[in-house]
Chains A and B, each alone.
Chain A
Amino acid sequence: MTGYLLRRIPTAIVVLAVASILIFAVLRLIPGGPEAALAGPDATAAELAAIRHDLGLDQAFITQYLAWVGDILALDLGTSYQVGGSIADLIGFGLINTLILTVAALIIAILLALALALTAVLFDNRFVAGLLTVVNAAAIALPTFVVGTVLILVFGVRLRLLPAGGIPPNGFTESLQISTQYLILPALTLGLPAGAMLARFLTESLRTELQQPYVLTARALGASRTDIVLKHALRNALPPTLTALGITVGALLGGAVLVESIFGWPGLGLLTEEGIFARDYPLVQVLILLSVAVFVIIQLLADIVHAWLDPRIRLAGDR
């Protein structure tokens, strides 16, 4: 296992380092740098140069990059030019909102996956199977902006049951009931495809379990079908699904960008979008690096869990 970690962890660090260089370089290719956005349309060339000097943009690329990496490693995220304020504060605020949304979506996804998979296995007749296939395909394939728009139309605009977007006026310090009302539509939009995807994994995994000899034994001993599924098969079907959960968390964080935009949810996704259009380099480069880091870490954890469970992967390089 140590050998595997020694091979796998440096790889993740290299990917992060390359990604950080790319992010830093690519953002500087955006036409119309931050000085133009800061100084306004009437600025003279001298004013622009002065601003560039103040921001350190006239230094060599490598100097700027190393200074940035040094600051990040010292946990100093810097100050935003445009959106305003300390980047750590902005990210902290956005991160809480994104996490609340993601966790809510994850809970919905898990409940949905359990419901769909158990229905598929417990009631296996042609009608249920056909219905589940349709529900599953629709939930996985329909884009979040379609689902989100329809949900807003039906529950926010027509029925007026739930708020059509945003977060509670006073944040999530409000009562649980009000918070839930604001959370339910975006979390459902985000969790639906993830839940349907998980349901497919879990159903597949349950069906594989149901073909094992121990199921036949339990059946012969007189256990009911429901008992076999809930008490025996489900327990054994969960581990492979847990690995898939890692991918799901990644997908949820990635999908949050769009869902936040649809529902005007002030999380990290909305902050990234805002930052890019305002040419707010310091803010955006930290945000993108953060999202890349999260993905790399999730991938790393998933690989490690996988290797821990499957010796063939762990030992592949030792031969």
Chain B
Amino acid sequence: MTTDQSSTTTTVAAGPNAEDPDLVPGLLPESPGDREARHPRTPLWRSLLHGTGLVGSILVITVILCGTIGPLFTPYAPDQQIDGAYLLQPSLDHWFGTDDVNRDIATRVLYGIRIDLLIIFLAVPIGAALGVVAGLATVTHPASDVIAQRVFDVILAFPALILGITLTAILGPGAVTVGVVIALAEIPIFGRLTRTSVLRVRELPYVEAARVSGATTSRILLRHVLPHSLEALSVQFALSLSLAVFIEGALSYLGIGVVAPAPSLGSILAGGNGYLETNPWFSLGPLIAVSILVLGFYLIAQSISHDRRLRR
């Protein structure tokens, strides 16, 4: 791979958005140089700092700040019932109004963000780690490959929400159950991804070289193969965070997620659902927070995957 950074493109560079060849179709066939890496060794986190990645990071960081330090500034507690504040409209005292049991919705949204972040940042890494381990295990032995693949198939055969509804019926509703559902849903996704990328590099000369020089299988997998999959895994990780916010919201919306009176974005939304006719602003706060969070993670995933394709 050459690192000639001045290698400009023919059709693409002439277009108005030269930094984004994917958005410029151009009817002329592309020359191989068009897909040449311009920054082949750019570290992964650079994707977070420009274009859609930057927008995504700003959105996510804003929500994270709201969820971490926001609760320090609210004059109310999330479950505090304020006298005479039944379903108030938004005002300076109550930015998103108050709910049907006289609680400040803005406060509940801030605490809801906190619980959501806690769930997704615990459940997704756990699920991802288990999935990666299972994915690496598939290539060590033919039998483990067959077993792990069928386990992935079986988990994937259950739609995430059906899995969630069923598990909730057994474990009882609550933040822990939501976390278990999310982690379980991630295992086959990361497992398959890891397996595919391991299979792709297994036959490459540098892996063979490592084996010839006496490296053990686990060393080759961890030191040589896994780093190669890092980009694909980070894209999926960001997507999974986005999906996890969705699963939490969906389960709580169905009334089987985080239990009252603890607020979560989905449960506040579910509460506001009964008042869409009369008090639509009830749902506004959680709607905004969920949208920003989901969109932010999604944009980050898109940005990493886009930069990664450029590097190919």
Q: Tell which of A16, A145, A291 touches B159, judged by Cβ atoms closer than 8 Å.
A: A291
Q: Nearest Cβ in chain B — how far from A133, in angstroms?
A: 7
Give the docked Cα–Cα distance between A137 and B52 (Å): 10
Which of the segments A63-71, A181-189, A207-215 contacts the partner chain? A207-215
Q: Nearest Cβ in chain A — how far from B129, in angstroms?
A: 23
Q: Contact string, A133-172, partner B, CB cutoff 8 A, digits 1/0?
A: 1000110111111100110110011100000100000000
Q: Tell which of A129, A258, A299 touches B254, judged by Cβ atoms closer than 8 Å.
A: A258
Q: Nearest Cβ in chain A — how far from B255, in angstroms?
A: 9
**In this assembly, does B119 line the interface, its C-beta being within 8 Å of a C-beta of chain A?**
no
Number of interface residues of B (CB under 8 A): 51
Q: Tell which of A22, A215, A276 touches B29, judged by Cβ atoms closer than 8 Å.
A: A215
**In this assembly, does A254 line the interface, its C-beta being within 8 Å of a C-beta of chain B?**
yes
Instruction: Take A261-B253, A273-B254 as given contacts and tell me if A149 and B24 are in contact as well, using a CB distance cutoff of 8 Å.
Output: no
Q: Nearest Cβ in chain B — how far from A234, in angstroms?
A: 13
Q: Contact string, B253-286, partner A, CB cutoff 8 A, digits 1/0?
A: 1100000000000100100010011001001000
Give the docked Cα–Cα distance between A262 and B273 (Å): 9
Q: Nearest Cβ in chain B — how far from A45, in angstroms?
A: 23
Q: Contact string, A9-36, partner B, CB cutoff 8 A, digits 1/0?
A: 0010011101100110011011100000
Cross-chain contact B16 with A126 (CB below 8 angstroms):
yes
Q: Contact string, B234-257, partner A, CB cutoff 8 A, digits 1/0?
A: 000000001001100110011000
**In this assembly, does B169 line the interface, its C-beta being within 8 Å of a C-beta of chain A?**
yes
**In this assembly, does A244 line the interface, its C-beta being within 8 Å of a C-beta of chain B?**
no
Instruction: Take A152-B276, A273-B254 as given contacts and tell me if A258 and B161 are in contact as well, using a CB distance cutoff of 8 Å.
Output: yes
Cross-chain contact A145 with B250 (CB below 8 angstroms):
yes
Question: Which A residue's beta carbon lies closest to that of B28?
Answer: A216
Instruction: Take A213-B29, A273-B254 as given contacts and tell me if A295 and B299 are in contact as well, using a CB distance cutoff of 8 Å.
Output: no
User: What are the 4 A-B residue pairs with the smallest beta carbon separation, nearest first?
Assistant: A254-B159, A141-B298, A129-B23, A126-B16
Binding site for A on B (CB under 8 A): 16-17, 20, 22-30, 52, 150, 153-154, 156-162, 165-166, 169-170, 172, 242, 245-246, 249-250, 253-254, 266, 269, 273, 276-277, 280, 283, 287, 290-291, 294-295, 297-299, 302
